[in-house]
Chains A and B, each alone.
Chain A
Amino acid sequence: MNRPIRLVGLVMSLMVFALLANLTYFVVGREPALAADPANQRAVQADFDRQRGQILAASTVIAETAPAAAGGAFSRQRVYPNGPLYAPVTGYYSYVYGSRGLEHSFDKELAGTAADQWWQRLADTLAGRTPVGATVQTTIDPVLQQLAAEKLGDAKGAVVVLDPSTGAVRALVSSPSYDPNKLASHDFAAVEAAWSDLLADPGKPLSNRAARETYPPGSTAKLVVAAAALAAGYSPDSLIDTPATVQLPNSSSVLPNASACGNSQQTLANALRLSCNTSFALLGNQLGAEALRNQAEKFGFNRTHLDAIGDAASVYLARPDDKGDITPVEPDQAQLMMSSIGQWEIAASPLQMALVAAAIANDGVLMEPYLVSEIRAPNLNVLYSHEPQPSQAMEPADAQALQEMMLGVVASGTGTRAQLAGTAVGGKTGTAEWQPGQPPYAWFTAYAHDPDVVVAVFIESAGGEASDTAAGQLTGPIVRDLIAATR
């Protein structure tokens, strides 16, 4: 009977061989495609569960990866100390809803999977260490960020603080904000609930008002017209027609002044100081759309600046087409006049208005803004370091003239509430009526040379009357306090 038993043994051997051969084939033939399959939950989860690097503001940790509670599907948990304050910068890192902000744009570096981190990965693997992602060092100053958020309080709005000489973003606050910790949670039901709460919130906390939303900039846009006028040969003392009202061409609408500008002429400096609508409407009409758009684009309109948080491009006599490309719009005279006072085919983010002030304050040189100064591998190798990117927005002399004009606004114009003893502050207020019957937007964009700083404040629901003076009263103290804090 042993012969058939031996044959059975042979069959059993073949069965074992088939199992082992199949597994061998699996490693060679199937595994690569399976590992790269986007439907592979495990790859997605493994990516999610990496030891991501920290995000730092100065030496303050604003995002880090901590061990997760035992028993969950993941071993690590992304944590945002003081989450709502830094949410406009860090964004969130959610299994359910993906990522946003720096978490999104520096995902590979934070996760340690960027191409220039392969050597580190290999070394970690060979040494049996847990691969750790790189640290992202932001330019945010925790003190200014905290102060700006405090000053904004419950108001819907945003604050951007820039260093005009470098372009470093020192504060980027949007209010109201959200807690990214709730979106990074591993309790997916809770994440989904938090997400729908955020979407349903009338305050739109997920909106990044500082850089990802654009609004009519109101009178702050007069800086662009003034710069274009200086470039066209005007001087601060040039007299500009300033009637009490202007009948818009081919239109039944009449544009009045909102402040005491008289009914004759004003110097350019005075028109800016008092924020005279009619002066700038007529001036803009004179300069023409082309000149205005050119000057605006030199200030950074019609393009994006902070890819790190995916900012929205501010537009000036242009609008995004179906594909998102920004294409120029040719206005008629009435539209051009309204645009000159920041009300029609023009929309800017607080970041953009800060850039305008920064270019003026930096003697006409626009430093590209940046949020990430350095990316460091765990072994402190620098993987990325910001290079300054200057561009000429104005002639230096014109810029200095405009600085003087802006000083006048704060000294004795619409922005007197931003005065700071011992420091010369220059700025421009703005009010934009975006919908009849709704509270107007209030703007203030200001600079100081000692210390070198630019502050842009935007408040979405300014109470009270729709005048630049009112806007200055609302936003001026915030500007003042922030400049004071940088001293």
Chain B
Amino acid sequence: MAVDAIPAPGCRPRRNTELVLILVAQTVGLSAYLLTHLFRDNALPPAWLPVAAVWYGLGVATSLVVRWRAPYADPVLLPTVFALLGLGLSELHRLSLGLTELNLQFHYIAAVLGLVCFAAVVIILRDPRRLQVYPYFLSLVSFVLLLLPLVPGLGVEVNGSRIWINLFGFSLQPAEIAKLVLAASFAAYLTEQRDLLAQGGRKFLGVHLTRVRDIGPILLMWAVSLVIMVYEKDLGTSMLFFGLFTVMLYVATNQFRWLVCAAGLAVAGGLAAWRLFPHVRRRFVYWLDPFSVPDDATQILSAQYGLASGGLLGTGWGLGRPGLTPFSFNDMISTSLGEEIGIVGLMGIIVLYALLAFRGLACALRARDGFTKLFATGLSFGFLLQVFAIVGGATRLLPLTGLTSPFLSQGGSSLVANWLLVALLVVISHEVRRPHPTAKTDLAEEETMVMSARRLRQVAVGPVGPLLAVAPGQTPQPADREGPDGEDVPTAPIFPAADPPSRPPERQTATPAGQPPGQSSAPAYEQPFNQPVEQPPLTPSGQPLAPSGEPLPTPPADLPSAPLAGQPSTRLTGQPIAQPTDQPPGLPSDRTADPASPEAAR
């Protein structure tokens, strides 16, 4: 039982902590900017005061937006982003001092635009589960975005990769946005289909048919990845999407066979690409033995020389020569930073990335519904996979693939897309951390299990009795919560009349402070997926709740009251035991737990 995955109702907003952390993180970036000029010119940049004002202003504004619309959001996300963004902007500015071809005007605009998009998402998208509604539409959008660069006249081939589209004179990289849409569509699709995917082959007689149906999506993703690799010549994006899909599929089904299947497909595709495409082969040569082709592997070699010249502690801001490396501002921004702030600094950046990704994953662990779990996992894993691929590529851990380093690389599409990603994580973390009126049992332990009728009976009988032994008005003790894992606690209507009419008032106010009674009625999408039954909101004691928050009139108390709680078998009279069994096995009604369960009171 993953206790840590259950949100405590008293999760504090911690917005002030966040603001302080944002200001500290911003100071890191600003210092980098000032140090660059101090080291290079022995003088502060002329416009440093306005720059600092705008920079801190943006940080405070972002913090205010979050305070307003997502007060329970994870307070670490935004400071991490501002630290990365500050370092990235400073390094890009520093590179532009030596590289005349590097024009950062659009990048700065994109940085602000990204913040606006962040604010818009945080303000508009109150609940991430709204994205769950259109899985096929989202898939379509993401595939269109992915394949847009192949449209003649629209797509542009830059530096050998056809991953750009030209729109009204602006170059955009639709794959950056597609990453997010794809994560959402995967999550929505898999939430819907995961039981089928998990159980296919066993459930139906037509084994062969089911398998084709199961394998269909993964084959489709594989095909799309290959198309990206072959026609857009974008190894990184191809790998990123396939990896993202595979991992989300695995999380949704908890079945290793999908990983094995995907690994097989990836190896097959990789080998085919190796045989067919010289540019893929070259990447491997540049990775494994760049010194054998010093005239071709200049980029990776120069990046290595740069890191070596920086050493452990770096040359200092503005004192290295990162501009010698081709694409020092884009693919190689991590080694450009590594040259100037050292291996130690680069490790710090990797840790910042990891921090962001793992805070996202923590949201996934705490989330109460499958979609949010999958979505947060996908966003976090996809983010870290991208970091792994590009930083690993730049430091010769992996073959170099042309991905962007989030928040560091020059490029507006990437910056805006990553701000959107953070916005989604903020919204998710707010949703996950905010106190909920109806406590839920933990989806964490929800295994895709086949439940026997015997087990169901056990579940119905075993753990519930002690629960009911809690007298009205009495705080349930955690020890009460016995039973196997608790996730199979039957739905509340089983015990419609557990409480006498004269209930003490404090039980009614079990909804946490700050939550208006009107909001305590859970929206429809908080119901368990695949469970069509809409149930009335419940009071903490399991009573249906009127929209006003007042308890509905209790039904006639024809059941034994509390003092008889020690005899659970006598209380099963008339309970709608058939309801859980209506559902397919493995779909426990986890979301409709009795709010009177210990989690709610804790």
Question: Which A positions have Cβ atoms within 8 angstroms of B?
Answer: 1-9, 11-12, 15-16, 18-20, 22-24, 26-27, 30-31, 34-35, 37, 39-43, 45-46, 70-73, 75
B254 touches A75 (CB 8 A): no
Bound Cα distance from A31 to B307, whole angstroms: 8
Q: B380 on the interface (CB 8 Å rule)?
A: yes
For A70, list chain B residues within 8 Å (CB): 40-41, 97
User: A34 with B304: in contact, given A5-B251, A42-B321 (CB under 8 Å)?
Assistant: yes
Main secondary structure of the interface of B (DSSP, over half): helix
Contact partner of B380 (CB less than 8 A), chosen from A12, A19, A23, A41, is: A12
Contact partner of A12 (CB less than 8 A), chosen from B254, B361, B444, is: B361
Chosen A-B contacts, 27 in total, with CB atoms closer than 8 Å, are A1-B252, A1-B374, A2-B5, A5-B361, A5-B373, A8-B247, A8-B377, A11-B247, A12-B384, A16-B354, A19-B392, A19-B395, A20-B347, A22-B392, A23-B338, A23-B343, A23-B347, A26-B395, A30-B308, A35-B311, A39-B294, A41-B302, A42-B305, A42-B320, A43-B309, A45-B321, A73-B323
Main secondary structure of the interface of A (DSSP, over half): helix
A73 touches B321 (CB 8 A): yes
For A8, list chain B residues within 8 Å (CB): 247, 250-251, 361, 377, 381
Enumerate B343-392 residues with CB–CB distance to A below 8 Å: 343, 346-347, 350-351, 353-354, 357-358, 361, 364-365, 370, 373-374, 377, 380-381, 384-385, 387-388, 391-392
For A11, list chain B residues within 8 Å (CB): 247, 381
User: A12 with B381: in contact, given A27-B312, A31-B308, A42-B324 (CB under 8 Å)?
Assistant: yes
Enumerate B292-344 residues with CB–CB distance to A below 8 Å: 294, 301-302, 304-309, 311-312, 319-321, 323-324, 338-339, 343
A23 touches B361 (CB 8 A): no
User: A22 with B397: in contact, given A8-B251, A42-B321, A45-B321 (CB under 8 Å)?
Assistant: yes
Q: Mark B115-159, 1 if CB is under 8 A from A, else 0.
A: 000000000000000000000000000000000000000000000
A1 touches B40 (CB 8 A): no
B343 touches A71 (CB 8 A): no
Bound Cα distance from A334 to B324, whole angstroms: 63
Q: Which of A1, A3, A26, A42 has the most CB of B within 10 A?
A: A1
A20 touches B305 (CB 8 A): no
Contact partner of B350 (CB less than 8 A), chosen from A1, A6, A16, A73, is: A16
B311 touches A31 (CB 8 A): yes
Bound Cα distance from A24 to B5, whole angstroms: 34
Which B-chain residue is minimally distant from A20 (CB atoms)? B347
A313 CB to closest chain B CB (Å) equals 39
Bound Cα distance from A26 to B309, whole angstroms: 12
For A41, list chain B residues within 8 Å (CB): 302, 305, 321, 324
B373 touches A46 (CB 8 A): no
B311 touches A2 (CB 8 A): no
B71 CB to closest chain A CB (Å) equals 25
For A27, list chain B residues within 8 Å (CB): 311-312, 343
Bound Cα distance from A22 to B287, whole angstroms: 13
For B319, list chain A residues within 8 Å (CB): 75
B377 touches A5 (CB 8 A): yes
Contact partner of A19 (CB less than 8 A), chosen from B254, B350, B442, is: B350
User: A1 with B446: in contact, given A35-B309, A37-B305 (CB under 8 Å)?
Assistant: yes
B388 touches A15 (CB 8 A): yes
B373 touches A1 (CB 8 A): yes
B331 CB to closest chain A CB (Å) equals 16
Bound Cα distance from A73 to B353, whole angstroms: 31
A307 CB to closest chain B CB (Å) equals 32
For A45, list chain B residues within 8 Å (CB): 321, 324
Which B-chain residue is minimally distant from A67 (CB atoms)? B42
User: A18 with B392: in contact, given A1-B252, A8-B377, A27-B312 (CB under 8 Å)?
Assistant: yes
B391 touches A40 (CB 8 A): no
Q: B447 on the interface (CB 8 Å rule)?
A: yes
B486 CB to closest chain A CB (Å) equals 14
Bound Cα distance from A487 to B40, whole angstroms: 49
Q: Mark B22-56, 1 if CB is under 8 A from A, else 0.
A: 00000000000000000011000000000000000
Contact partner of A9 (CB less than 8 A), chosen from B324, B358, B374, B442, is: B358
Contact partner of B308 (CB less than 8 A), chosen from A15, A16, A40, is: A40
For B97, list chain A residues within 8 Å (CB): 70-71
Contact partner of A75 (CB less than 8 A), chosen from B40, B311, B339, B380, is: B40
For B311, list chain A residues within 8 Å (CB): 27, 31, 35
For B380, list chain A residues within 8 Å (CB): 12
Bound Cα distance from A110 to B373, whole angstroms: 64
For B87, list chain A residues within 8 Å (CB): none
Which A-chain residue is minimally distant from B43 (CB atoms)? A70
Q: B98 on the interface (CB 8 Å rule)?
A: yes
Which B-chain residue is minimally distant from A1 (CB atoms)? B373
A12 touches B251 (CB 8 A): no
Additional 19 contacts, C-beta under 8 A, given A6-B365, A12-B381, A26-B396: A3-B447, A4-B254, A5-B251, A8-B377, A9-B361, A15-B384, A16-B353, A19-B388, A31-B307, A31-B308, A35-B311, A39-B301, A40-B308, A41-B302, A43-B305, A45-B324, A46-B309, A73-B98, A75-B40
For A19, list chain B residues within 8 Å (CB): 350, 387-388, 391-392, 395, 397
For B385, list chain A residues within 8 Å (CB): 15
B343 touches A26 (CB 8 A): yes
For B61, list chain A residues within 8 Å (CB): none
Q: B445 on the interface (CB 8 Å rule)?
A: yes
For B263, list chain A residues within 8 Å (CB): none
Q: B2 on the interface (CB 8 Å rule)?
A: yes
For B374, list chain A residues within 8 Å (CB): 1
Which A-chain residue is minimally distant from B249 (CB atoms)? A4
Q: B443 on the interface (CB 8 Å rule)?
A: yes
A113 CB to closest chain B CB (Å) equals 16
Bound Cα distance from A26 to B252, whole angstroms: 38
Which B-chain residue is minimally distant from A72 (CB atoms)? B98
For B396, list chain A residues within 8 Å (CB): 22, 26
A34 touches B40 (CB 8 A): no
B391 CB to closest chain A CB (Å) equals 6
A35 touches B308 (CB 8 A): yes
Contact partner of A23 (CB less than 8 A), chosen from B301, B321, B395, is: B395
B282 CB to closest chain A CB (Å) equals 19
In the A-B complex, the 4 residue pairs with the closest CB atoms: A2-B444, A34-B308, A42-B309, A22-B397
Bound Cα distance from A164 to B350, whole angstroms: 68
Bound Cα distance from A427 to B365, whole angstroms: 100
Which A-chain residue is minimally distant from B373 (CB atoms)? A1
Contact partner of A71 (CB less than 8 A), chosen from B98, B339, B377, is: B98
Bound Cα distance from A228 to B554, whole angstroms: 137
B297 CB to closest chain A CB (Å) equals 11
Bound Cα distance from A284 to B396, whole angstroms: 74
